[in-house]
Amino acid sequence: MPRYFIYLSYDGASYHGWQVQPNAVTVQQKMEEALSTLMRTPMQVVGAGRTDAGVNAALMVAHADFPSEIDVPHLVYKLNRLLPPDIAVSTLRRVKDDAHARFDALSRTYYYRVVTGKSPFLRRYACRVQPGIDFELMNRAAELLYEYTDFTSFSKLHTDVKTNNCKVTRAVWLDKGDGEWCFEIKADRFLRNMVRAIVGTLLQVGRGRMSLDGFRAVIENKARSEAGDSAMGEALFLVGVEYPSDIFL
C-alpha cells in the first residue's frame, strides 16, 4: 500500500490536541474520519507529534497508507470540503513505504506568540504580557537551553516516554514590532508540555522573578515543580517539521 505524507494546518481551539482520545474530539480523529469516508475503507493517520489541547499547527505532517496511488490535487480538494473549517490540508507527498512521520523527523520548530498590549486581532492567538518585560534577559536565559539535553523540569509529569533528552538547536525571542514578540524554538524532539513550560519559566525571568542562575538551577534540578507555570496553549504553533530528503519518492 503506497504511503503518503499529509501536510496540514489547524486551529486547535476546538480540539483536545492531536491524538485520538476516548471522550474528546481531536484533530487526528477528524482526519481519520474524513479519509475513511473518502477512501471507503478504515484509514489510520500517524502524526509527527502530539500537540496539546488548544495548540495550533501552521504545519503538521502525518502519514497514511492508501489502497492505491492517488490523484493528489483531487484528494486535497475533496478532503478540504469534508474537513471542518479549522482543519486544512495543503498537499500530500509520496514517500517510501517505511517512512514515518514521527520517527523520521529530524527536527520540529514551534513559535510562541506574546503581545505587550491589548490587541483585538491577536487575542486568541497570543499571550498578553505586561509592558516592560525584559526580552533581552529572556534571550540570555534561552541560550542556556543549548547547554543541556535533559529537560525533565519542563516535561509533563507521568508520561510514557523512555527519555527526557532533547537537543535544542534554536531558542530565541524575536521582536515582530508593534508590541508583538515570538519565541522560536527548534529541537530534534519535544516532551509533552515542554515549550509552554519553557515559555512560562522564561516569563518569570523577564518579570524579574527568577535570575539566570535560577533558570539554570531549574534545568539542573530536574523538578517540574521548580519551573514556571505552563503558558497558555492557544499562543503556541507548530510551524515546521524537517525530514531527510531520501524518504521522498
- The answer to whether the beta carbons of residues 236 and 167 sit under 8 Å apart is no
Q: Which 8-state DSSP code applies to residue 188?
A: S
Please name the residues in contact with 41: beta carbons below 8 A apart, sequence gap of 6 or more: 67
Asked about 52 being catalytic, the answer comes back as yes
Find the helix or strand (DSSP H, E) in which 121 lies.
none
Annotated catalytic residue: which of 52, 71, 150, 246?
Answer: 52
Nearest to 149 by CA among 164, 162, 165: 165
Nearest to 227 by CA among 168, 152, 144: 152
Which grid cell is 198?
519553557
Q: Which 8-state DSSP code applies to residue 52?
A: P
- Which residues are identified as catalytic? 52
